[in-house]
Chain A
Amino acid sequence: DQQVKQNSPSLSVQEGRISILNCDYTNSMFDYFLWYKKYPAEGPTFLISISSIKDKNEDGRFTVFLNKSAKHLSLHIVPSQPGDSAVYFCAASADGGSGNTGKLIFGQGTTLQVKP
């Protein structure tokens, strides 16, 4: 039962263009969504998050969009740089409420390659 899905295993874009990474989820109780970036032989690093009460959050070149009705979020990277080449994971949290553990549910990841 995959609650968070990233249906594209890989994406290749040209340097300077926009990268759009997509993520779908099934659990309407999720109230925070996050993106992580992972380089080989390193742990994932937190990139950006969004609360379910918002539809957009921006941090520099990175913007996350949330469409609650479609249970879909996306990460936009503009402009893309070769150093952005990595595996990107989306994750979701049911962070509110008593007894919550802060557990994050991760998607399978999308490998982004940015070509110079």
Chain B
Amino acid sequence: GAGVSQSPSNKVTEKGKDVELRCDPISGHTALYWYRQSLGQGLEFLIYFQGNSAPDKSGLPSDRFSAERTGGSVSTLTIQRTQQEDSAVYLCASSLDRQGSGIYGYTFGSGTRLTVV
């Protein structure tokens, strides 16, 4: 597609339920990143994919968080047993390659606003 697409745009879930967030990156972009923005906070790095592998998972806050990427394209971020502190906007971004991310930046999607009640 022309841009990075994320779904759903909004998700309200009950505490303790599992949620799946989807990211469809720009076609041909090999690097994919997940970030989250909690209220009043900056963008917090979660995980980086190069192709289907995730060489950097250092930002995942707990083992309730996991992500996968299939076919070098679509990625899903799964949060198990959601907690209220998981409420945030989850942003996905892609770039042609990790090299040059500092020069050209990434392209972000519009995000998924997750609210855990």
Contacts and interface: CB of A to CB of B under 8 A. Distances in A.
Interface of A: 4, 6, 31-34, 36, 41-46, 49, 51, 89, 91, 93-95, 99-109
Given A43-B4, A43-B93, A103-B48, 5 more contacts: A32-B102, A43-B107, A91-B43, A95-B102, A104-B102
A36 B105 CA distance: 9
A107 B35 CA distance: 13
B101 A93 contact: yes
A108 B35 CA distance: 13
Contact of B99 (A89, A102, A107): A102
A44 B43 contact: yes
B42 A106 contact: yes
Given A44-B108, A45-B108, A104 B45 contact: yes
B71 interface: no
26 contacts: A32-B102, A36-B105, A41-B110, A43-B91, A43-B107, A43-B109, A44-B91, A49-B102, A49-B103, A51-B102, A93-B102, A94-B102, A95-B100, A95-B103, A100-B98, A101-B56, A102-B48, A102-B98, A102-B102, A103-B56, A103-B101, A104-B43, A104-B45, A106-B42, A108-B40, A109-B42
Nearest to A35: B105
Contacts of B25: none
Nearest to B40: A108
Interface of B: 4, 31, 33, 35, 40-45, 48, 50, 55-56, 91, 93, 95, 97-111
Contact of A89 (B43, B48, B50, B106): B43
Nearest to B43: A106
Given A43-B93, A43-B110, A103-B56, A95 B42 contact: no
Nearest to B111: A43
B106 to A, nearest CB: 7
Contacts of A6: 42
Contacts of B41: 108
Given A43-B108, A108-B42, A34 B48 contact: no
A103 B105 contact: no
Nearest to A39: B110
